Chain A
Amino acid sequence: MSYLAVTDLSISFGGIRAVDDVSFEVEEGEVFAIIGPNGAGKTTLFNLVSGIYFPDGGSVRFAGRDITSLPAHRIAPLGLARTFQNIELFEHATVLQNLLIGRHVHRRSTALSHLLFLPAVRREELEHRRRVEDVIDLLELAHYREQRIANLPYGVRKVVEVGRALCLEPKLLLLDEPTSGLNPEESEDMGFWIEDINRDLGVTVVMVAHDMGLVSRVAGRVLALNEGRVIAEGSPAEVQKNPAVVDAYLGAD
């Protein structure tokens, strides 16, 4: 039984089969990349797995549990966190607050005790803060801690979003284009962090990526999609050489 098992997943928008009978399996502890040209259905696939869309057919199983029909807010507590391609941070809050929001699934106290801010709530807040500081240390965000997202450059926002996902203490992390829009140095840092997250924190990573350099460096296996269908699966080198993949990117003769 694999860790994340996607079976015959499909969804249509109007007449377009955005994801068409896609199946793949991710083992615990690996870094799995999903590639494909624009409009291949990568992000839609993520939205299906993380419970933002519900599929027309097929199933998603995560850690032995069927999560196909669970809404997003019930999938997150199971240990599945994600980022967004175009960055969906809480713009008018500080970096620290954004990361603390990421701790939401680990809250133990009730709204009533928050009203009174009982000592137990303070202890819990301090515990959240310690965990958040670990993430800040890992991703070198200390300098930006008190800044509002609206004032941050794009590259930093990208890192904060990964940080927020890490604050959930996930077992599986879905990264949607973690290096899109980053300059070469920032991309390289992101590559190192993905390796750290995978090796040191033991998080299974599934990422959508365009940057083949990054994919070959960090990913163990690659799935290639085109027009909603799986066209290849294997090691980065195999997939890159696969004629169907070359056709999808460069066009067939």
Chain B
Amino acid sequence: MRFLFKTHYNQDIDHLKHGGDRFWYGLLLLLVAAAPAALGTFYLGELNLVMIYAIAGVGLMLLVGYTGQVSLGHAAFLAIGAYTHSLLLGAGLPFLLSLVAAVLVSALVGAGVGWIALRMTGIYLAIATLAFAMLTEQTISRAEWLTGGFRGLAVPQPSLFGMPLTEGWQRYYLTLALLVVTLLAALNILRSSTGRAMVAIRDSEISAESVGINLAVYKTLAFALSAGITGLAGALFAHRLGYLSPDAFTFLISLQLLLMVVVGGVGSMRGVIYGALFIGFLPQLLAIARDTLPPQIAQAPGLEPGIFGLILVLVILFEPQGIFGRWLKIKSYFQLFPLYRRATHRRQKTYLRTERLR
């Protein structure tokens, strides 16, 4: 077990707290940077997709895991990011500018949704965001003059400073760089007063208000941030698809994103990565399972959403902390061996709280 001797407050502020952190994250960065040399085109593409999911997951995690606002409509922000990026790229805007614009447009729409949904919490908010996603999907399919509707919209080839990004490894590095930037930005938010205000709203709105946190401002801000980051993922997702149509952004995608956050571990950024790996490789596992299962089950319609839903329910019931929580338990089992007790991680009783005041 590691005991840290702290001599400066900076040690609590820094992202990497000690030598072990620096070593392992350095090694991880080396490994993912070396991946293109070792992996074939197919798996590199899959890993690219996982990282795109992870970016969207960072956005959703800020909202769900840290601000406590549920969203079942994040596919809409993914779609808005994807369409904005493709349209602007098609209009001749440089790649990076178009990315920034996709983020800003998504964030703006997110702020609007957040502002409208201010008074809603829990299940009502989930339904409102779901309705928003449906609305977005319908709007995209009807606005044929802009989006091409169901005929689709071809995504222009990306190019960076005049260099076309067509190879798998180029896109891989682009996504990796953006994922790292997104993660750092999100972690920066979380270690500053903005992030703490979000956590405060998640845990107790009434005392958040009474320490001076403006609920309306911070909820709207959280929505905007979350939508902006998801919009960035959407722009990258557009290049992955190559051809946009409204049925690429269905409810299933929203559910997948939420599943990623919950399975990974609500309230942890590392959980996002675990969740993204899970979501990214689950379809492969399902495809393999399909080959072995009897055809009546394997060909059943709606198998995927059914399994996603089932996993969501099981995780919430049996491991509410997700993969990250399980990892913490395994880690402390070995750190405390042979003194580990299951009760250490049992959820504590909550004392009576002030009656909801409004």
Contact = CB atoms under 8 A, between A and B. Distances in A.
Interface of A: 47, 50-53, 71-74, 76-77, 81-82, 84-93, 96-97, 100-105, 107, 109, 111, 114-117, 121-122, 125-126, 128-130, 150-151, 154, 157, 164, 168
A122 B13 contact: yes
Contact of B196 (A71, A76, A101, A115): A101
B2 to A, nearest CB: 14
A107 B353 contact: no
Interface in B337-354: 347-348, 350-354
B185 A97 contact: no
Nearest to B214: A73
A185 B189 CA distance: 41
Contacts of B188: 114-117
Contact of B211 (A76, A117, A129): A76
Interface residues of B, number: 40
B67 to A, nearest CB: 12
Contact of A101 (B200, B206, B347, B355): B200
Given A73-B214, A104-B196, A168-B211, A115 B357 contact: no
A150 B354 contact: no
B88 interface: no
B207 interface: yes
A104 B211 contact: yes
A164 B204 CA distance: 14
Contacts of A157: 351
Contact of A53 (B13, B213, B347, B357): B357
Contact of B267 (A92, A116, A129): A92
Nearest to A96: B12
Contact of B189 (A103, A111, A122, A164): A111
B221 A111 contact: yes
Nearest to B355: A86
Contacts of A128: 193
A100 B195 CA distance: 11
Interface of B: 9-10, 12-13, 185, 188-189, 191-197, 199-200, 202-204, 206-215, 221, 267, 347-348, 350-355, 357
A224 to B, nearest CB: 23
Contacts of B352: 86
B199 A88 contact: no
A114 B195 contact: yes
A117 B184 CA distance: 9
A88 B204 contact: yes
Pairs A-B, 7 closest by C-beta atoms = A76-B212, A114-B192, A90-B203, A88-B207, A117-B188, A105-B212, A72-B209
A5 to B, nearest CB: 20
B196 to A, nearest CB: 5
Most B C-beta atoms less than 10 A away, residue of A51, A73, A86 = A73
B10 A126 contact: yes
B10 A92 contact: no
B210 A87 contact: no
A121 B211 contact: no
A117 B192 contact: yes
B272 to A, nearest CB: 17
A73 B200 contact: no
Contacts of B193: 100, 103-104, 107, 109, 114, 128
B226 to A, nearest CB: 13
B203 A117 contact: no
Contact of B213 (A73, A92, A93, A151): A73
Given A71-B209, A84-B354, A130 B9 contact: yes
Contact of B199 (A82, A93, A103): A93
B152 to A, nearest CB: 35
A126 B11 CA distance: 11
Contacts of B208: 90, 101
Contacts of A117: 188, 191-192
A74 B195 CA distance: 20
A90 B204 contact: yes
18 contacts: A51-B210, A73-B212, A84-B354, A86-B352, A89-B204, A91-B203, A92-B199, A101-B199, A101-B208, A102-B211, A104-B193, A104-B196, A109-B192, A109-B193, A121-B192, A122-B10, A126-B13, A150-B348
Contacts of A150: 347-348, 350
Contact of B210 (A76, A103, A126): A76
A143 B353 CA distance: 25
